[in-house]
Amino acid sequence: MSQLVRLLSIMSDLRDPDNGCPWDLKQDYASLVPYTLEEAYEVADAIESGDMKEVKKELGDLLFQVVFYAQLAKEEGLFDFDDIAGGIADKMVSRHPHVFSDHHYESEEAFLQAWEQQKELEKQQAQVANKQIPSASLMDGITQALPAMTRAVKIQKKATHIGFDWDNATDVVAVIRQELDELEAELNMELGSSPDRHTEIEDELGDVLFSCVNLARKLTIDPEQALRKSNHKFSQRFGQLEQHYHYDRQKMAQASSAQLEQVWQTIKQGGVVDE
């Protein structure tokens, strides 16, 4: 805790109007958001790399973002770091009665259902306290600023609260095929058939992606993590492809598509590619 107190003191010094850092002094809530998102992704990258020293460093960078927001709010008399920590501590105790009281859940599914019910109750209580009109839609409260894939998962999970869901993953695969057929139909239309062709194709492609996220959810796979892994795998294989051509871009550009594909397939199968 002494190091946390030290960090809070450092943050206060950085924001000192007379002797603080000019860059830190000109920041506000909105200007910090891109840095916060970047730090969160860097934590994820460090965890995926398995380098725990890097994980420690990136977690520190992310913690600093929280401390920065807390300092801004403290200066405005809104709240401070202690209020933030106290709020999340109270919430965790409230949402884990099976740990902090004698409540018992029959299954993990029952616990998760109770968690969602408690979240909804807290939201309603906050709306009453703030004299807000109660939410009319299950989708209210899902942050618009979330990455599209993450938001899609949250939207789909909300829909399941009223049973609006496919029975199994196989059903979702059939939906993906249907959406792909609709996309292919748009692609096969004559170019001049509609002034909004690009918009229509974009719409159909969006449906394909949304359905793929749905399949990931049914398989209890995080689609964001799955795509991150595929990105990493592709980058590694592409690096091997470049190595095959000795990182000579002109040489790669002169190779035919069939030649590139042949090398690529060899790499995918774990073989050694020769010049």
| Residues 127/136, Cβ–Cβ less than 8 Å | no
CATH class as words, domain 148-221: mainly alpha
Same fold? 2-95, 148-221: yes
Residue 192 pLDDT greater than 60, yes or no: no
Residue 8 pLDDT greater than 60, yes or no: yes
Residue 158 pLDDT greater than 90, yes or no: no
Tell me the mean pLDDT in the region 22-50.
94
Tell me the mean pLDDT in the region 88-98.
92
- Hey, where are the domains in the chain? 2-95, 107-136, 148-221, 231-268
Of 152, 155, 153, 145, the closest CA to residue 37 belongs to: 145
Q: Can you say whether the dihedral through the CA atoms of 19, 22, 26, 30 is positive or negative?
A: negative
CATH architecture of 2-95: Orthogonal Bundle (1.10)
Question: Residue 217 contacts by C-beta under 8 Å, 6 or more apart in sequence?
Answer: 153, 156, 157, 223
Lowest mean pLDDT among 125-129, 234-238, 257-261: 125-129
pTM for this prediction: 0.69
Tell me the mean pLDDT in the region 26-35.
95
In angstroms, what CA-CA distances link 37 with 8, 34, 43, 191, 211?
21, 5, 10, 40, 26
- Report how far Cα 272 is from the mean position of its chain's Cα atoms: 36
Tell me the mean pLDDT in the region 66-83.
98
